[in-house]
Amino acid sequence: MFTITPTARHRRSPYYEATVAAGVTGFSTYNKMLLPSGYGDPEGEYWRLIKGVQQWDVAAQRQVQLTGPDAARLAQILAPRDLSKCVEGRGKYVALCDHNGTLLNDPVLLKLADDRFWFSIADSDMLYWARAIAAERGLSVTVDEPDVSPLAVQGPLAEDVIASIFGDWIRDLKLFWFRETEIGGIPVILARSGWSKQGGFELYLMDGSKGMALWNIVREAGRSWDIGPGSPNHIERIESGLLSWGGDTDDRTNPFEVRMERYVDLDLPDSVIGAKALRQISASGPARWQLGVILEGEKPYETNGVWAEISANGVFVGHMTNLTWSRRMGHNIGFALISRQCASGDVLEIALPSGLVSGTLTELPFL
Amino acid sequence: MFTITPTARHRRSPYYEATVAAGVTGFSTYNKMLLPSGYGDPEGEYWRLIKGVQQWDVAAQRQVQLTGPDAARLAQILAPRDLSKCVEGRGKYVALCDHNGTLLNDPVLLKLADDRFWFSIADSDMLYWARAIAAERGLSVTVDEPDVSPLAVQGPLAEDVIASIFGDWIRDLKLFWFRETEIGGIPVILARSGWSKQGGFELYLMDGSKGMALWNIVREAGRSWDIGPGSPNHIERIESGLLSWGGDTDDRTNPFEVRMERYVDLDLPDSVIGAKALRQISASGPARWQLGVILEGEKPYETNGVWAEISANGVFVGHMTNLTWSRRMGHNIGFALISRQCASGDVLEIALPSGLVSGTLTELPFL
């Protein structure tokens, strides 16, 4: 148990004071911001996400905004997914890759207008990446970070809470659809999205001075459903097979290795970054893939946030990139980033800090 | 006091186990790695750096390596400082900027060979930035991260410790000069450098499996000089006027605003990123500059790692970007990033969490 040292290098969220008032006990950092990681009751927080509703400070999902005549063009250059039919008010999960097809980030792209897009990014400096490409290609586009801070409301009761605030129209929003609205004079974009599979919404607050106010509106509205504070949940996201870029990927991971093939279009022009390389990788076959692994043992193993080596008959075949005790499955589970020689059903050895443990490969998600 | 949550998104240093054994109590994150921030005795750690010698795990200063026929060309494209006379075995402090002249990073550039360079980077994803530029310009260069992990030995007695390990030749190394060598079969690059003004060296370990071994060699050699563990020291670096990129800069800071003008050459060709913009900024005059501020009051103020607003007669003029109690000066001090309308000697008001405090601008460094 180590403390985190405050520094001006790590920006605080507009919800920071609200999370402290709510009893936050730990932080991670994400996109050079403080990201709340727990409120002192891991078991209660897990079950509230599975059965009830939580509010999460996820302002660290920073936005990279493209504005101007070439905004759509730049979005398509950056994302190897066909965006030609992308319409206003819809988001798309995309794989930002470098010229070699290596995955640099897995944001949700929001189309706000024909000349305005946001990438809601994972934990890497895509603002600079997008600026480099825009400038080198001489595009007429501004790349900057708007004053936007997502607040997630997640869990099976999230829809009732959000409907009580904004009205029943929100029930018709499909996954990744969004609409610009306001509550009590606070401007937000309301999207059906969030980094869990328990259902929910994200409120993209568009005025950083209103963090506490928006947090409190959600908390008060949620009282009837026993809402509580939470954070991106390590256990649930592993059970649900959600990717953590930078956690489950390394510096040579391509989208095909981490189940993102359905978000990659192979017939895009070569001007799209990575398009050519991704066609080659797809043709020759990626080296690894991502599967689940269910470990033997009836009690939680100690985890330390470090990848564990996996071997088959003593030969290295890949890594287990995360590990958790699934409360619903009653098993230790994790993701394997592993040779395509291995397949679901294989029994392998995982080198945990406590020693070698046997595990069985399975398809993702677990639940 | 909050805890930091372990995650595979934050890589551990090869010295991690050694720092735990040495009693590390807190971490920050830097370049998506864990960076030790203290060993439980802030006062003792400060004085050991000022009067003795410390060893610091600074593996989070990750290296961006350029290799190949166009390595030198790419280095010059990225750094708006004349590198034509840069020779092998010398490092140079450079300002990596975007096309608008905004400061993206302030690394030390090490020239290992005509076709091999390292940027020893501050806290932003310059690997991706360099890759974007290399690919977009079609350069023949590989941009990757080598297996390199700096260990800093800092303090006035550092030279004696390092000489006892490597020999007296190290006494002739000038600032930022380096040499490839080894100790006990462990390959290192030894440089006279480090993020303090107390003198010292950095050992760029070139075999990540040897972190504990190298740490222990330095610790054992340092016993005669009472070496102890330490980390980049917030108090000393402010006293010494050392810049923290991302801490003392924002998303519109240019090199002229943070005392980096002597590391920028204005007569470079337009192919150098930012060259044109920097000439314009230099000609029209930057809006802000960086000065010291000495606050009234005889006791340490509480700091929270957030910029404080500075005003002159009630009008906003800039920010105080850091704050510490200088043990040697007996004053609260910090850096001001402030309008050029303000100058050394001005008395201004700083909005601390505890209320308005008066402070006097001064030149940097303080000591």
* Residue B10 in contact with partner chain A when CB distance is under 8 A: yes
The minimal CB distance from B104 to the residues A29, A38, A128 is found for A128
- Chain B residues touching residue A28 (CB < 8 angstroms): 4-5, 7, 9-10
Question: Domain B16-62+147-238 is in which class?
Answer: alpha beta
% chain A with pLDDT above 70: 100
Mean pLDDT of the region A314-318? 97
Q: What is the pLDDT of residue B303?
A: 81
Closest-CA residue in chain B for A274?
Answer: B135
State the pLDDT confidence band at A302, using cuts at 50, 70 and 90: confident
Residues facing B357 on adjacent strands: B350
- Chain A residues touching residue B8 (CB < 8 angstroms): 244, 246-248, 305-307, 321-322
- Chain B residues touching residue A244 (CB < 8 angstroms): 7-9
* Residue A307 in contact with partner chain B when CB distance is under 8 A: yes
Residue A107 in contact with residue A86, Cβ under 8 Å? Answer: no
Contact: B10, A98; criterion CB under 8 Å: no
Say if residue A9's pLDDT is above 90.
yes
- The architecture in CATH of the region A63-144 reads 2-Layer Sandwich (3.30)
* Residue A174 in contact with partner chain B when CB distance is under 8 A: no
- Mode of pairing for the β-strands spanning A331-339 and A347-352: unpaired
* Residue B321 in contact with partner chain A when CB distance is under 8 A: yes
* Residue A302 in contact with partner chain B when CB distance is under 8 A: no
Domain with CATH 2.40.30.110 in chain B: 287-367
Note the CATH number of domain A238-362.
3.30.1360.120
The minimal CB distance from A5 to the residues B37, B99, B137 is found for B37
Closest CA of chain A from B166, distance in Å: 34
Q: What is the pLDDT of residue A101?
A: 98
Q: What is the fold of A16-62+147-237?
A: Gyrase A; domain 2 (3.30.1360)
* Residue A305 in contact with partner chain B when CB distance is under 8 A: yes
Q: What is the pLDDT of residue A217?
A: 98
Q: What is the pLDDT of residue B49?
A: 98
% chain A with pLDDT above 90: 98
**Model pLDDT for residues A222-246, shown as the tens digit of each residue:** 999 999 999 999 999 999 999 999 9
**Model pLDDT for residues B55-64, shown as the tens digit of each residue:** 999 999 999 9
Query: Could you give the 3-state DSSP secondary structure of residue B333?
Result: strand
- Chain A residues touching residue B128 (CB < 8 angstroms): 98, 104, 124-125, 128-129
Is pTM beyond 0.95 here? yes
Mean pLDDT of the region A156-184? 98
Closest CA of chain A from B25, distance in Å: 6
Contact: B305, A98; criterion CB under 8 Å: no
CA B29/CA A112 separation, integer angstroms: 33
- Give the residue with greater pLDDT, B288 vs A1: B288
In this structure, which CATH number among 3.40.50.2300, 2.60.120.380, 2.40.30.110, 2.70.98.60 belongs to the domain B287-367?
A: 2.40.30.110
Domain with CATH 3.30.1360.120 in chain A: 16-62+147-237, 238-362
Contact: B3, A10; criterion CB under 8 Å: no
Mean pLDDT score across all residues of chain A: 97
Residue A94 in contact with residue A109, Cβ under 8 Å? Answer: yes
Q: What is the pLDDT of residue B1?
A: 80
Q: What is the pLDDT of residue B232?
A: 98
- Chain position carrying tokens 């501004």: A142
CA B160/CA B221 separation, integer angstroms: 10
Closest CA of chain B from A125, distance in Å: 6
Contact: B25, A2; criterion CB under 8 Å: yes
B71-78 and B126-136 helices, crossing angle to 10°: 110
Q: What is the pLDDT of residue B302?
A: 85
State the pLDDT confidence band at A305, using cuts at 50, 70 and 90: confident
Mean pLDDT of the region A41-67? 98
Residues of chain B with pLDDT below 70 are: none
Closest CA of chain B from A170, distance in Å: 34
* Residue B315 in contact with partner chain A when CB distance is under 8 A: no
Mean pLDDT of the region A271-278? 98
Closest-CA residue in chain B for A38?
Answer: B5
**Pairs of CB atoms within 8 A across A/B:** 145
Contact: B9, A123; criterion CB under 8 Å: yes
Say if residue A303's pLDDT is above 90.
no
Q: In sequence order, what DSSP letters do the residues of B57-76 get, joined into one string? A: E-TTS-EEEEESTTHHHHHH
Query: Could you give the 3-state DSSP secondary structure of residue B123?
Result: coil
Contact: B7, A28; criterion CB under 8 Å: yes
Say if residue A304's pLDDT is above 90.
no
Domain with CATH 3.30.70.1400 in chain A: 63-144
Say if residue A1's pLDDT is above 90.
no
- Chain B residues touching residue A304 (CB < 8 angstroms): 6
